[in-house]
Structure 1
Amino acid sequence: MARPQSIAFRALDLHVIQGRADETALHTPSGTLSYAQLLHESASLAGGLRDLGLRRGAPVHLDVPDRHTWVLSVLAIVRLGAEPDREASFSITQDPAVVGAGEDEYELDLVLRAGRVDPARAEMHDEGDYGERMERKYGDVLATLLHGGTLT
C-alpha cells in the first residue's frame, strides 16, 4: 500500500494541482488569499524560517494573535516538519509578529520576503504519525484546508 502524501502537500499543493488555485483559501480582516497565494506565502515563510535554521523535527513555539499570521505560520511550520514546543528557542510570537531564532529576533515580514527567493517545498510523505499529530494540534487550520474549505 502506498504511503499517503504529506499533510502539507494535501492541505495546499494538491488543491492547486487539481485546478483550485484561484478559489479562496483564507479570508480574514487582514486580507483574502487564494489557494495558490496561500501556498506561495506559506512556502515563502517556510523558506525564510529554513534559512534561519528551522528544520524537520526542530522545536518551534507559535503564539500570535493575528489569524492571518497564525494560518501562514502553521502552514510554514508543517511544511518544514517542525515540532510545536512551548519551550523552544525558535519562535514566532507577538503582534506584529517576530521570529526568534536563539538570541536573534527578526520581523516576520522580513523573514517572509527573504523566503520568496527560495520557497520551501512540501515533503511528499510525513515521518511516522506527524500528519495526524499536526492535524490534532492545528485542526483549526488543517482540517478546513484538507477538505477544500475556506479559512476565516
Structure 2
Amino acid sequence: MLIEVRQDLPLLVFGGPYSNLAATLAIREKAVELKIPNSNVICTGDIVAYCASPRECTDLIHDWGIHVVQGNCEDALGNDKFDCGCGFEENSSCDLASKQWYEYSKARIGEDQKVWMADLPNNLKINYHGKTIIVIHGGVNQQSQFIFRSSSTTDKLQQLKQTDS
C-alpha cells in the first residue's frame, strides 16, 4: 500500500508499543513537540503485547490517525488466532510470558478493535526523498520472523529480493 508523506518533514517510525500506554503517550507527545504530522508517523505493529493497557493503547494509536502496519499480534488478535504466532520454544520463558499476555489482551480487546487490527495492511510503501521505503513487521512474507542486526547478510539480502515480487 502506497502512502503519502510530507517530504519536507522527518518521518517518525516506531514499533512494539506492547500495550505500554505511558510509552505510547510519550512518543505521541514527542511527535507533537517536533511538529511531525500524523501523515509522517508510522507504527510497525505489535501495539498490543506484554504490558497492561491493550485496549487503551489500541484506542490511542487508532485515534491518533497514524499509519500502522499489521504485526503478528494484530493479525492474531484481529483474526481470533490461538496465539500470537511468535513460535517460541514450548515452555520456554518467552512462550510462557507470551501465553499470559495474549490471554490477558484477548479478553480486553473489543470487537471494533479486532476488526480494525484484522484490516491493517501487511506493508506500507513510501517514496521519501527519492528513495522507496517498504515498511514491514518481521519478515517480508512472515510477520513473526525475527531479523536482527546480527542476522546474516544472506538473510537480509533474501528479504530485499522478496520486496521485488
TM-score, with length taken from structure 2: 0.25
* Structure having greater relative contact order (Cα 8 Å, sep ≥ 6): 1
Q: Normalized per residue, which structure has more helix? A: 1
Q: Normalized per residue, which structure has more strand? A: 1
TM-score, with length taken from structure 1: 0.26
